[in-house]
Structure 1
Amino acid sequence: MQTQYENDQQLLNATAIAVRQAADLLLQRFKPDARPADLPQLLTMIEDNDVAVTAQLRESLLALRPDVQWLDDEKSRGPLPAGEWWVADPAEGNVNHIHGTTEWAVTATLVRDNVPVLTVVAEPLAAKLYTAVRGGGAYLNGQPLHVSQKPSLAAALVSTGQATPGEGKLAYSKIGQSVTAMLEHALLVRMAVPATMQLVQVASGQLDAFWQHGNVLSGLVSGALLVTEAGGQITDWTGQPWTLSSPNFVASAPVMNGQLVAVLKNI
């Protein structure tokens, strides 16, 4: 009898093909000189990308596992009902894509009973494919990933971002306070979207940490699994283990988690 890991590893390989094919479709739609003229055009371009890529991605993933439930609402927050779910984003970083910039991808994560167990993130413009299976490590184009080992936040490059537009004054206040606090402790602070594109850099050691107020599933589950499998630690702002119910999020190497929590816990 096969173990669950062996089953998940085989499913990961097939998932990678499906996600790569969807990413190729999104790449065909990419125009480096794209510049939306106003908000209505911007929203139309975002919707067009979502519609075009979702259909192919959903069909491919549900063909692999027809009994798995489907979630591609990029604003959805957890937890999910019991069972297996595909949590996908057909255009993660859609707003970057339609402005002709480079930080965008297609993602798909299998969540089993509210635990991410396998994920694929495809960046076709950079020819990068990130993969992870729970308990099996994290990889970029087949090469193992490892989080940064810097011991001090004073030498760290850290990042945050909005979970979604229009989050409200309370969320903006917490985001602003967290950035101000982090500026007093980290070497370099940046703010960017989407979360997944920051988290793959944490998993690869290019960024030392990422934090976010809010808990939008499609932006966090892929990166959470990649960072964990690359040797990192995922918690909320109080240092408790992160779950799909957590109100906020921190990802870093274990050695730096306590320093980040000390900065964020009272915000």
Structure 2
Amino acid sequence: MSETMRTTDRTGSDAALLAGTVIAVRAAGSVLRERFGDVVAHQSRDELMRALAANDDAALGILRPSLTDLRPQARWVEEELEGGALPPGEWWVVDPAEGNINHLHALPEWAVTATLVRDNQPVLTAVHLPLTGETYTALAGGGAHLHDRPLRVSAPAGLGLSIVATSQARPDEDERVVRRVGSSITAMLVDALVVRTAVPATLHLVNVAAGRIDAFWQFAGARADLLPGALLVTEAGGRVSDAEGRPWTPASESFLATAPTIHAEAVATLSR
């Protein structure tokens, strides 16, 4: 079999996997939507962690068996906040409640994500927003879509005309990273038109892929909050790198996704 035929067969197989992944994230999203409503009160960190875990467990009860059935040979990343490179092979990288803290506070910015990673490269992803019913998908070499509509990044004339965004990677971040985040926001407030700061990262990244905002950056970060958006933005024609402009991998210490027209300016701002 020729290399072209093998590539075509794999792409077709991955497209079928993506269709099954969409079904799984939508089903998990329905479970979380039923749990959404009033603010979930908590008086201690332990109470908060139990509430977060309850949401994760409810969604994982759908996602884990569904995705395992789709790809039994793929291993499972157990901790959604972990970063760094993965061992070789296939892995499901899942965030069962991306923006879980927002869900508990009755805020609408949360999602369910599932990404298949092959040898540290994301090959397919599905991001479902249960409150709006939107499902964003990307397939390596097959483009990025909102339902059946192709996505395309923006083309701003410069950073000074751009809406940019950043996110907090995780609670209890190292102070060095926190200070770097703060200085980068200040730099972007000077150079960009508007700066948005909120969690979760994935919801900013679907907006970059859809051309609604022009750039997103983050220091540190977990695989689960960056891999879905990395594939969506790349397949929508965007640029993905680290904050210094080098190729991004799950082992990178920073992340930048932009419209190609402002990538160099964004790197320069973040490198100050």
Same fold (TM over 0.5): yes
- 1:262 and 2:268 are equivalent in the alignment: yes
- Out of 22, 29, 35, the residue aligned to residue 29 of structure 1 is 35
Q: Please name the residue that 2:150 is paired with.
A: 144
| Alpha-carbon distance in structure 2 between the residues aligned to 1:220 and 1:66 | 24
- 1:156 and 2:154 are equivalent in the alignment: no
Contact 1:233 1:253 in 2 (8 A): yes
- Out of 43, 46, 66, the residue aligned to residue 38 of structure 1 is 43
Q: Please name the residue that 2:114 is paired with.
A: 108
Please list the CA deviations of residues 134-179 of structure 1 after superposition, one character each: whole Å capped at 9, or x if unmatched: 0101000211111111121101111101100101210111000100
Amino acid of the structure 2 residue aligned with 1:6:
G
How far is 1:72 from its partner? 4.1
Contact 1:72 1:89 in 2 (8 A): no
- Out of 208, 218, 238, the residue aligned to residue 244 of structure 2 is 238
| Alpha-carbon distance in structure 2 between the residues aligned to 1:265 and 1:80 | 27
Q: Please name the residue that 1:250 is paired with.
A: 256
CA-atom RMSD in angstroms = 1.1
Partner SS for 2:131: helix
Q: After TM superposition, list the pairs within 5 Å mapping 1:161-200 onto structure 2.
A: 161-200=167-206
How far is 1:37 from its partner? 3.8
Q: After TM superposition, list the pairs within 5 Å mapping 1:91-102 onto structure 2.
A: 91-102=97-108
Q: Please name the residue that 1:75 is paired with.
A: 81
Structure 1 residues 95 and 79: alpha-carbon distance in aligned structure 2, compared to 1, 3 A threshold: same
Partner SS for 1:170: helix
Partner SS for 2:192: coil
Aligned-residue identity in percent: 49
- Out of 208, 230, 251, the residue aligned to residue 224 of structure 1 is 230
- Out of 213, 219, 235, the residue aligned to residue 219 of structure 2 is 213
| Alpha-carbon distance in structure 2 between the residues aligned to 1:86 and 1:36 | 32
Amino acid of the structure 1 residue aligned with 2:39:
A
Partner SS for 2:191: coil
Amino acid of the structure 2 residue aligned with 1:36:
A
Moved more, 199-208 or 35-44: 35-44
User: What is the total number of aligned residue pairs between the two structures?
Assistant: 265
Q: Please name the residue that 2:90 is paired with.
A: 84
Unpaired runs of 5+ residues, structure 1, are none
- 1:54 and 2:66 are equivalent in the alignment: no
How far is 1:36 from its partner? 2.2
Partner SS for 1:19: helix
Please list the CA deviations of residues 45-75 of structure 1 after superposition, one character each: whole Å capped at 9, or x if unmatched: 1111011111220110001111100014121
Q: Please name the residue that 1:4 is paired with.
A: 10
| Alpha-carbon distance in structure 1 between the residues aligned to 2:68 and 2:215 | 34
Contact 1:146 1:204 in 2 (8 A): yes
Under a length normalisation based on structure 1, what TM-score does the superposition of the two structures give?
0.96
| Alpha-carbon distance in structure 1 between the residues aligned to 2:66 and 2:237 | 30
Please list the CA deviations of residues 175-229 of structure 1 after superposition, one character each: whole Å capped at 9, or x if unmatched: 0010011111001112100100110011111111100001310000000000110
| Alpha-carbon distance in structure 2 between the residues aligned to 1:58 and 1:241 | 31
| Alpha-carbon distance in structure 2 between the residues aligned to 1:9 and 1:96 | 31
| Alpha-carbon distance in structure 2 between the residues aligned to 1:241 and 1:208 | 19
Runs of 4+ in 1 over 3 A off after TM superposition: none
Amino acid of the structure 1 residue aligned with 2:41:
P
Contact 1:120 1:131 in 2 (8 A): yes
| Alpha-carbon distance in structure 1 between the residues aligned to 2:193 and 2:179 | 22
